[in-house]
């Protein structure tokens, strides 16, 4: 039986996303206290894989997850899921409006309901928790008065729904990813996503050069984020999502070009896109163009790196 870690406790949106994936069938689901703890459980062998949120349609990326994906030992994404996020205010039975003085949730939960909270409880103290379900558990323990959480967490913790559908932007969607140790990527489906991170030299045009390696080969970039490298001042990881699969010629050529051009490239997985996610189907791409200025040794190193990535080696 496989062990799959997720942001706990039970009743989180992350658990709902994980249960929607085929890998969860028959698996033991292991709750963890925070997204970094999920990634640590995989790296330490206490879990075979783990589910974490990577971005939200309202609040954007989840920084601790982006930062954790580029740490060592390497990890890769093997699947993704999209989950419509619906927030409710959960309270202990019998709670009245006057009895709600503190409201807690995960930072993304607070950010997506801040307007509603301000209008409904203008004097309430806002507190942060490690997850929406942990906030509900805090309510059940009597530590706070109300939690912004998934409605399903009410039954989990013996609470009542005081108000439902309280998001400031109805229709918000969160993207979750299933992360595992490196191995052969899932086979191409024609509707895939490749995720990577790269660092470049700090000089004019370096980012343009990175993007050009994708553009001239017809690779559609669907997301780009920059995150500081913690121990290197003024240096950044660029996190990218692209449409396509590492096994496809155009994507392979683009990744090899990035390996030649960039200071460092981390391959973070090629995997099927979730239904409803952005990006075109795989295309033929543009003809290979030797854009990066590199010698024979750099080309050989890039080809060796690409071959390792395609067979499940560390990226």
Instruction: Give the domain-ending residue among 164, 193, 216.
Output: 164
Residue 18 has pLDDT above 50, yes or no: yes
Instruction: Give the domain-ending residue among 164, 199, 225.
Output: 164
At 145-173, the pLDDT tens digits run 999 999 999 999 999 999 999 999 988 99
Per-residue confidence (pLDDT) for residue 280, from 0 to 100: 61
Total domains in the chain come to 2
Per-residue confidence (pLDDT) for residue 295, from 0 to 100: 63
How many CB atoms are closer than 10 A to CB 51? 30
Residue with structure tokens 């419509």?
A: 84
Report the pLDDT averaged over residues 37-66: 96
Q: What SS3 class is residue 161? A: strand
Same domain, 194 and 251: yes
Per-residue confidence (pLDDT) for residue 297, from 0 to 100: 78
Per-residue confidence (pLDDT) for residue 302, from 0 to 100: 82
At 94-152, the pLDDT tens digits run 999 999 999 999 999 999 999 999 999 999 999 999 999 999 999 999 999 999 999 99
Q: Which domain holds residue 279?
A: 182-315
Inside any domain, residue 29: no
Instruction: For the chain, give the percent of residues with pLDDT over 70.
Output: 93
Residue 281 has pLDDT above 90, yes or no: no
Same domain, 206 and 297: yes
Inside any domain, residue 34: no
Per-residue confidence (pLDDT) for residue 278, from 0 to 100: 60
Please give the full DSSP string across 237-293, using - where no structure is assigned.
EEEEEEES-TTSHHHHHHHHHHHHHSSEEEEEEEEEPPTT-S-PPP---PPP---S-
Domain harbouring 283, CATH code: 3.30.70.260
At 201-220, the pLDDT tens digits run 888 888 999 999 999 999 99
Angle between helix 249-261 and 296-310 (nearest 10):
130
Residue 290 has pLDDT above 70, yes or no: no
DSSP 234: T
Per-residue confidence (pLDDT) for residue 219, from 0 to 100: 95
Residue 77 has pLDDT above 80, yes or no: yes
**Residue 202: cis peptide before it, omega within 30 degrees of 0:** no
Q: What is the pTM of this model?
A: 0.86
Per-residue confidence (pLDDT) for residue 276, from 0 to 100: 72
């Amino acid at each position: 039986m496989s062990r799959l870690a997720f942001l706990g406790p039970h009743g989180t949106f992350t658990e709902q996303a994980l249960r929607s994936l085929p890998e969860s069938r028959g698996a033991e689901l292991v709750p963890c206290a925070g997204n970094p703890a999920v990634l640590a459980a995989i790296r330490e062998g206490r879990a075979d894989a783990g589910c974490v949120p990577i971005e939200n349609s309202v609040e954007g990326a989840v920084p601790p997850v982006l930062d954790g994906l580029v740490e060592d030992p390497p990890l890769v994404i093997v699947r993704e899921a999209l989950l419509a996020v619906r927030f409710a205010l959960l309270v202990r039975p019998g709670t009245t409006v006057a009895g709600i003085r503190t409201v807690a949730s995960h930072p993304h939960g607070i950010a997506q309901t801040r307007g509603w909270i301000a209008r409904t409880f203008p004097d309430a103290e806002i507190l942060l928790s490690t997850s929406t379900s942990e906030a509900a558990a805090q309510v059940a323990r009597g530590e706070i008065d109300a939690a912004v959480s998934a409605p399903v967490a009410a039954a989990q913790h013996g609470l009542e729904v005081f108000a439902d559908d309280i998001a400031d932007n109805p229709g918000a969607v969160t993207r979750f990813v299933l992360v595992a140790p490196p191995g052969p990527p899932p086979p191409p489906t024609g509707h895939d996503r490749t995720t990577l991170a790269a660092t470049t030299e700090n000089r004019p045009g370096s980012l343009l050069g990175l993007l050009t390696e994708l553009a001239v080969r017809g690779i559609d970039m669907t997301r780009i984020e920059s995150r500081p490298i913690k121990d290197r001042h003024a240096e950044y990881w660029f996190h990218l999502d692209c449409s396509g699969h590492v096994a496809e010629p155009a994507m392979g050529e683009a990744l090899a070009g990035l390996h030649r051009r960039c200071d460092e490239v981390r391959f973070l997985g090629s995997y099927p896109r979730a239904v409803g996610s952005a990006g075109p189907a795989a295309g033929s791409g543009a003809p290979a163009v030797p854009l990066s200025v590199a010698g024979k040794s750099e080309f050989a190193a890039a080809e060796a790196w690409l071959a390792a990535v395609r067979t499940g080696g560390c990226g």
